[in-house]
Amino acid sequence: MPAVRAAQLYKIFGKRASRAVQLLSDGRHRDEIGHLNVTAAVIDVSFEVRAGEIFVVMGLSGSGKSTLIRMLNGLLEPTSGSVEIDGTDITRLSGAELRRLRSRKISMVFQHFALFPHRSVLENAAYGLEVRGVAREERLEQARHALGLVGLAGWEDRLPHQLSGGMQQRVGLARALAADTDIILMDEAFSALDPLIRRDMQAQLLELQATLGKTIIFITHDLNEAMRLGDRICVLRDGRVAQIGTAEEILNDPANDYVAQFVEDVD
Ligand code: ADP
Ligand code: MG
């Protein structure tokens, strides 16, 4: 069973773009009062993510990456289509069921770290477990362990602003690791970091993933980063899948001119 399965996902934004939106074969949309071209952020996207792989979603700004990832963890309801996490279609769950599944199975790492400024590094790393109701002693112990994994042993009592950007994002990663979910979603998690720090973080993520076997869905607008990290890469263009393949397949056998043009810029 794949860890995550997205099938024929559409997400259409717009005041009148509710259930009654009609999807036309040419990719346009007609809303219930007949307007064409309702804004679609994600159009007919399907893929499966295997347990233990890094699946990268790569696309330019505005291509629908964040919209897609928000549908994968149930923060946004798709206009149509399904999202299965370990075989459960989360689009059919109640709010409470969804929150329970999400806190057990999925962690997020955000571009701008999303740390609490007045809480210590340790408390920030323990936050995912706090949401799940894990007792204080246990969650601090798991958080301490996770901070060790990302190289932040000794920094537990500091506040986020006393850390560099790279270190703050390590806290974000430690929070996801402490929560001990099988799936980690990372939305442009390294995009705010300096190039050298960014390379360090990429290497560290690959190391951690090799030992911990997490299923990681990693979003980036940077094809070089996608190539370095992805077991497989999904290239999004204007909300649609342009190609899904390994770095080698995308480099050597781009599915279309759009992907080929990206590949020219790879280091
Ligand atoms: P990315 O993360 O790849 O930059 P997004 O998923 O944020 O792309 O956005 C995809 C498209 O959907 C963009 O055109 C964006 O303007 C539009 N969009 C995103 N969120 C909303 C929203 N809440 N309402 C209307 N349009 C939105
Ligand atoms: Mg985004």
Q: How does pLDDT run across 213-264, given as a tens digit for each residue?
A: 999 999 999 999 999 999 999 999 989 999 999 999 999 999 999 999 988 8
Ligand 1: residue whose CA is nearest its atom 6:
64
For ligand 2, a single-atom ion, which residues have Cβ within 5 Å?
65-66
What separation in Å is there between the alpha carbon of 135 and the centre of ligand 2? 34
Ligand 1: residue whose CA is nearest its atom 25:
13
> How many CA atoms lie less than 13 Å away from 84 in the CB half-sphere?
15
Phi, psi of 62 (to 5 degrees): 85, 0
Q: Which of 136, 110, 115, 112 is nearest to 125 (CA)?
A: 115
Task: Output the tens digit of pLDDT for each of the chain's 267 residues.
Answer: 899 999 999 998 865 445 556 666 655 666 655 665 567 889 899 999 999 999 999 999 999 999 999 999 999 999 889 999 999 999 999 999 999 999 899 999 988 878 999 999 999 999 988 888 899 999 999 999 999 999 999 999 999 999 999 999 999 999 999 999 999 999 999 998 889 999 999 999 999 999 999 999 999 999 999 999 999 999 999 899 999 999 999 999 999 999 999 888 777
Element (H, E) at 215: strand 215-220
Angstrom distance (rounded) from CA 256 to CA 267: 20
Nearest-atom number in ligand 1 for the CA of 11 is 12
Q: Which of 20, 16, 4 is nearest to 68 (CA)?
A: 4
Nearest-atom number in ligand 1 for the CA of 64 is 6
pLDDT tens readout for residues 114-141:
899 999 999 999 998 888 889 999 999 9
pTM to 2 decimals?
0.91
Q: Cβ(221)–Cβ(62) under 8 Å?
A: no
Specify the residue for token string 């109640």: 94
